[in-house]
Amino acid sequence: MEVKKYEIKEGLTIFIRPLIKEDRKAFVKAFSKLSDKTKQLRFLTSTEALSEKEFDYLVNVDHENHVAFCAYYSKNGEEIGIGVARYIRSIKKPNTAEIAITIIDEFQGMGIGKLLIQNIVAFAKQHGIEKFVANAYYLNNTILNIISKYPYEITGSSDGVLTIEIDITHGKRD
Ligand SMILES: CC(C)(COP(=O)(O)OP(=O)(O)OC[C@H]1O[C@@H](n2cnc3c(N)ncnc32)[C@H](O)[C@@H]1OP(=O)(O)O)[C@@H](O)C(=O)NCCC(=O)NCCS
């Protein structure tokens, strides 16, 4: 499994690689650090907590139809989770997948989301995905900023949540 290393800023080195089920403990820990606002932006509901079953689902990815990449740093030999980007392939349209991403609050705005997206887009393209679908609040400038680097189309809107189709075959960033 390829692990990529990035120097984010002085003193902060992060790693990005596919998520594996052994990451469950770090994943649960990182989830507990998310603010209500971040959880709301990611899950589009006021998610207080996730059930054990939901955590199982989110870490037991198959690297083909349910794919996730994680970002972490290392402290005293422990891998500390920073964020996850994942996609779930559509059964009906196998060249399309729904994407979601979360970075824990204290690491937002440092370019890590962008790196996770670059990694997952590159992987997706190698695995036959051409289009990502994202659901995002219309005021979520950060994710809209990332999406706008690719050709995209807003295909739906409900209660302030936009459904956006992104053509990942023509992005500038990968
Ligand atoms: C959206 C999210 C994943 C982005 O990750 P991030 O690491 O914070 O973003 P980055 O630092 O990589 O920045 C990405 C781009 O947004 C810009 N940006 C960063 N913070 C911003 C803000 N508050 N407002 C507007 N633009 C912002 C950056 O400048 C960068 O654009 P650039 O490439 O033109 O410089 C992260 O903020 C997050 O987890 N938010 C809460 C959950 C969420 O919204 N998920 C998306 C819905 S699925």
Query: What pLDDT shows up at residue 9?
Result: 83
How far is it, in rounded angstroms, from Cα 151 to Cα 165?
A: 9
Phi and psi dihedrals of 71, rounded to 5? Answer: -115, 140
Domain spans in the chain, listed from the N-terminal domain onward: 4-130
76: tokens are 């005293």
Q: Given ligand 1 and candidates 37, 137, 140, 142, which is best to mutate, with the most ligand atoms within 8 Å of its CB? A: 142
Residue nearest to atom 20 of ligand 1 (CA): 109
Query: What pLDDT shows up at residue 45?
Result: 85
How far is it, in rounded angstroms, from Cα 32 to Cα 81?
A: 11
Classify residue 22 by its DSSP letter: G
Ligand 1 is surrounded, with C-beta below 6 A, by 38, 41-42, 100-103, 108-114, 134, 136, 140-143, 145-146
State how far the alpha carbon of 62 is from the alpha carbons of 87, 104, 127, 173, in Å: 11, 24, 12, 26
DSSP 24-92: HHHHHHHHHT--HHHHHHHHSS------HHHHHHHH---SSSEEEEEEEEEETTEEEEEEEEEEEE-SS
Mean pLDDT computed over 6-29: 95
Q: Are 84 and 113 in contact (CB under 8 A)?
A: no
Q: Which fold has domain 4-130?
A: Aminopeptidase (3.40.630)
Mean pLDDT computed over 86-99: 98
How far is it, in rounded angstroms, from Cα 7 to Cα 27?
A: 22
Rounded (10°) angle between helices 24-32 and 52-59: 120
pLDDT band at 173 (very low <50, low <70, confident <90, very high): low
Q: What is the mean pLDDT of the chain?
A: 95
How far away, in angstroms, is 114 Cα from ligand 1 center? 7
Query: What pLDDT shows up at residue 48?
Result: 76
How far is it, in rounded angstroms, from Cα 62 to Cα 133?
A: 19
Mean pLDDT computed over 127-150: 96
pLDDT band at 89 (very low <50, low <70, confident <90, very high): very high
Q: What is the pLDDT of residues 55-87, one digit of tens each?
A: 999 999 999 999 999 999 999 999 999 999 999
Query: What pLDDT shows up at residue 47?
Result: 76
Query: What pLDDT shows up at residue 10?
Result: 78
pLDDT above 90 coverage of the chain, percent: 91
How far away, in angstroms, is 23 Cα from ligand 1 center? 24
Q: What is the pLDDT of residues 110-134, one digit of tens each?
A: 999 999 999 999 999 999 999 999 9
How far is it, in rounded angstroms, from Cα 81 to Cα 112?
A: 12
Name the more confident of 48 and 156: 156
Phi and psi dihedrals of 75, rounded to 5? Answer: -135, 120
How far away, in angstroms, is 103 Cα from ligand 1 center? 9
